[in-house]
Every structure is written in C-alpha cells, then in structure tokens.
Amino acid sequence: MAETVIDIRNLTKRYGDLTAVNDLSFQVLAGEVFALLGPNGAGKTTTIRTLIGILQPTDGKASIHGLLCGPQRPEIMRRVGYLPDEPTFYDYLRGREIIEFVGEMHGLDAETVARRAGPLLQRLELDDALGDYAVNFSHGMKKKLAFVAAVLHEPSLLILDEPTNGLDPYATRALHGIIGEHARAGGSVLLSTHLLDQAERLASRVGILYRGQLAACGPLAELRRDAAAGGTLEEIFFRVTGDAAPAAEDGGEVDPA
C-alpha cells in the first residue's frame, strides 16, 4: 500500500459569507501525479494555499506526511517544492543569484546547488539567461526559474500551480519529463491546471472541483466508466461540472477556465 502523502479531510474554508471550499476530502499517494482540476473559482487556489500553510481552514484539516499544514509549516516546506502560478523575484537579482540564494536558504553549499540546478537549467533552456536580471525575464522564464528553485532541496512532494503557463512547447515537454521522472522515483505531484490534455497525459488520478466541492475523483479509467463512458477528460469535466456540451455551437473550443 502506497504511503499517503497529502491527506485532506472535510476541509472547509469560508471568507465571511463566501464558502470557497466545502467539506473537501481527498488523498495524494507516494509515486503518483494527482491533477486538481476545476473552473475558475472552484477552490483550487484556496486548497493549495491551505496545504502550504498560507491559509488556515475554517473546519477540517490538511496534512502532509502526517504534519498539520499551518501549525507545522516549516517542517512541511522542507519536504515540499511549491511552484506558484505567478512567481515573483527581486527584480535586480540575477537568475544565478536567485538560485544561489534559494540554495543557501535550504542549507546547501555552492557545489551542491550547481550540481542539482545545472542539468535542470539546461533541460529547460534557461542556463544562458542566468546572468540577466529577473526584471528582464518573461513570464515563462520566471516559471522555469521558480521550478528549479522549488526542487533544489529535492523535495518528496511537488505542488505545481499551472506549471506550464507561459512555457513554449520545448520547455513544456521537458517539464513533463521531469514531472514523470519524479513520480517514477517515488515522489508525489499535486498538479493544478486548466489544461485538460496535460492532466490526461500526466496524471495517475484526477480530482475535479466545482463550487468548492469534489465533483469527481479517481483514475481516468474509473471516471470514464462512471461519468462519461469512453469519453475524454474534457467530456468528463463538462459532465460533472454541469455542462454536457464540451464544444461551442459554432464548433469552436470552450475554455474550461
């Protein structure tokens, strides 16, 4: 039986009269990629911010490796690599300086930082930009830099929020490869994305949030059987979120965001 890495039990988060997440329960196991999907406002960001200890739940609990999110945040963040959707850096630090600073914060020496970061920077085609200031980095370059910084300490769990947003197809393929390698080595990934084809390609299991609740959860084969016989993840997504028509009337694509 695989170890439970993320354990969310009856999690509820309210902001005044607004309930962002309502009685949410799911687990993420060691060695799997779990895709957390849902339209905008479904509760994905609230769930992630609760896991990394930025938000405190109104009810219920969330834990990582048996440690309570929030009260035991420092211990948790030593085991987690977190990639936000909108990474921010000090504008006038160079890319190389940012990587070195993050490594120092994790207690890593310069040789270890270079050994771990070098191959990732090359795979993501960012090594040639390390001498430039962060203020000159595009959004995609910042995502690459933030990903390398997030995995420097070799965390067992990656929490990735829209990880390929802003990346070109080459960098996207490279990042997909790194995510797959991490899971095959026994690590875990919680992947939040609007790209349903990406989730279909990478995820071992899928959870679909809708209006703060878990509308569907399980392996894709199981969801196909229960929610949309033989269908794609896109068809499953629209079925469980209340819209059985995944395409617009004029034949154009519909953005699930």
For 190, phi then psi, to 5°, come to -105, 115
Are 60 and 186 part of one and the same domain? yes
pLDDT band at 257 (very low <50, low <70, confident <90, very high): very low
- Both tokens assigned to 239: 């079925």
Instruction: State mean pLDDT over 229-254.
Output: 64
Which H/E stretch holds residue 140?
A: helix 139-151
The domain in which residue 202 lies consists of: 1-79+155-246
Same domain, 143 and 72: no
Say if 253 falls within a structural domain.
no
Taking the complete model, does pTM exceed 0.85, yes or no? yes
Decide if pLDDT at 249 tops 70: no
pLDDT for 215-239, tens place per residue?
A: 999 998 888 888 777 678 988 999 8
pLDDT given for residue 255 in this prediction = 38
Q: Any idea which of 44-48, 158-162, 189-193, 250-254 has the lowest mean pLDDT?
A: 250-254
Instruction: Verify that 122 and 189 share a domain, yes or no.
Output: no
Which pLDDT tens digit goes with each residue over 1-44? 789 999 999 999 999 999 999 999 999 999 999 999 999 889 99
The answer to whether residues 40 and 165 belong to one domain is: yes
Q: What is the pLDDT of residues 104-134, one digit of tens each?
A: 999 999 999 999 999 999 999 999 999 999 9
Return d(Cα 66, Cα 57) in angstroms, integer.
16
CB neighbour burial string for 155-193, b if at least 16 within 10 angstroms, e if fewer:
bbbbbbbbbbebbeeebbebbbebbeebbeeebbbbbbb
pLDDT of residue 98: 97
In the structure encoding, which two tokens stand for residue 169, read together? 């197809």
Q: Categorise residue 212: left if φ over 0, alpha if ψ from -120 to 50, beta otherwise.
A: left
SS3 content of the chain, % helix, strand, coil (to 5): 35, 25, 35
Which pairing describes strands 205-210 and 33-37: parallel, antiparallel, or unpaired?
Answer: parallel
Number of domain units in the chain:
2
Domain presence at residue 186: yes
131, 144, 83, 80: which is closest to 106 by C-alpha? 80
CA proximity to 113, closest of 158, 148, 69? 148
Same domain, 69 and 6: yes
CA dist list (Å): 69 to 7, 65, 73, 77, 123: 10, 10, 6, 9, 32
123 & 209 share domain: no
Note the pLDDT of residue 244: 45
Contact 4, 27 (CB under 8 A): yes
- Same domain for 164 and 71: yes
Residues 144 and 214 in one domain: no
Token digits of residue 45: 């960001």
Tens-place pLDDT, residues 55-112? 999 999 999 999 999 899 999 999 999 999 999 999 999 999 999 999 999 999 999 9
Amino acid 243: pLDDT: 62
Amino acid at 23: D
